[in-house]
Amino acid sequence: MEKESFFDKHRALVISILLIGVLVIASTLIPSRSATYGKIDNLPSQFS
């Protein structure tokens, strides 16, 4: 019960940490992403 209430109270914090972790891993695996980080809208066109 305590763990559920903890995640319920800090749900936004947990989600933000997960998102940051994904961004860090993605930027580490794809160094070129850092150069185009400000052009996220153009990423799909580059992969195609």
CB neighbours of 33 closer than 8 A, spacing ≥ 6? Answer: 26, 27, 43
Contact between 43 and 36 (Cβ < 8 Å): yes
Give me the pLDDT at residue 4, please: 73
| Confidence at residue 38, expressed as pLDDT on a 0 to 100 scale | 58
Tell me how long the chain is: 48
Over residues 1-48, the pLDDT tens digits come to: 567 787 778 888 989 999 999 988 888 877 665 555 555 555 555 554
pLDDT of residue 35: 57
Count CB-CB contacts under 10 A for residue 28.
10
The pTM (predicted TM-score) of the whole model is 0.44
